[in-house]
Amino acid sequence: MIHRFLQPALGGVLAITLAAGPALAEPAAAPSPGTSEQAVQLDQSIQVLKEQALDIKAREQRAEDELLYPDSTRLLVYLSVPATALLVRSIKVTIDGGDAALVDLDQNDPDENQAIALQNRGLLTVLRTNVPAGIHTLLAEVVSHYKDADEKNPPFVSQLSAQFSKSDEPAEVELVLSRDVNQRPALRYIQWSVAK
């Protein structure tokens, strides 16, 4: 027995279903040739809008970077890993004993895609900050392991303490994780200079 409040609603659904039945059973008409051309034009218009949006976003990011990190104080620190089969778990960098910048690839990248990309001449931006002109001390610590290492093997911890000079030009430092003479991971740094 159908409740008396539901009878009008169910009757309406039944009537709509019966009326639409033949229409639902018929196959859809084939699209006209003009419709597919319109779809292609719409798709192209959407693609142009996407490209314009990306261009606007890139210009906005450059303007923000120039405002937040002016050339006279900007410092960028990158990490590269030319040693094959060596995967980075985390990297921590401090400048002049300030707050540490920590990039935890285990947490941010559980599938190790970023760690693998670093081996293919990739660069990971570790730190973007402002420092005045002068001599600065950089401390870095990288935790890494070999791709085929057992879980019971402890990871490698590579550390570096170095001084670099910053002028009124932007400064860029690359930390390079490679193998030493004993095939253990070792850190070194390269200070990039502005081409004149």
Mean pLDDT of the chain: 80
| Per-residue model confidence (pLDDT) at position 116 | 73
| 162-189 pLDDT, tens digit each | 999 999 999 999 999 988 888 888 899 9
How far is Cα 146 from Cα 130, in angstroms, rounded to an integer? 34
Return the closest-CA partner of residue 87 out of 116, 113, 62. Answer: 116
Single-letter amino acid, residue 175: L
| Per-residue model confidence (pLDDT) at position 139 | 96
| Per-residue model confidence (pLDDT) at position 115 | 74
pTM of the model: 0.66
| Per-residue model confidence (pLDDT) at position 86 | 84
- Residue 106 scores a pLDDT above 60: yes
* Alpha carbons within 13 A on the beta-carbon side of 50: 6
| Per-residue model confidence (pLDDT) at position 3 | 43
| Per-residue model confidence (pLDDT) at position 157 | 93
- Residue 142 scores a pLDDT above 90: yes
Pick the range with the lowest mean pLDDT from 48-57, 101-110, 168-177.
Answer: 101-110
Q: Are strands 185-192 and 171-179 parallel, antiparallel or unpaired?
A: antiparallel
Residue 193 φ/ψ region, left for φ over 0, alpha for ψ in the -120 to 50 degree band, beta for the rest: beta
Residue that has been written with the tokens 């990306």 in this structure: 54
- Residue 70 scores a pLDDT above 50: yes
Residue that has been written with the tokens 């490698």 in this structure: 156
* Alpha carbons within 13 A on the beta-carbon side of 117: 11
How far is Cα 34 from Cα 155, in angstroms, rounded to an integer? 62
Tell me which of 73 and 4 has the higher pLDDT.
73
**Contact indicator for 124, 118 with CB cutoff of 8 Å:** yes
| 1-41 pLDDT, tens digit each | 444 444 444 444 444 444 444 444 455 555 555 678 888 99
| 74-98 pLDDT, tens digit each | 999 999 998 778 888 899 999 999 9
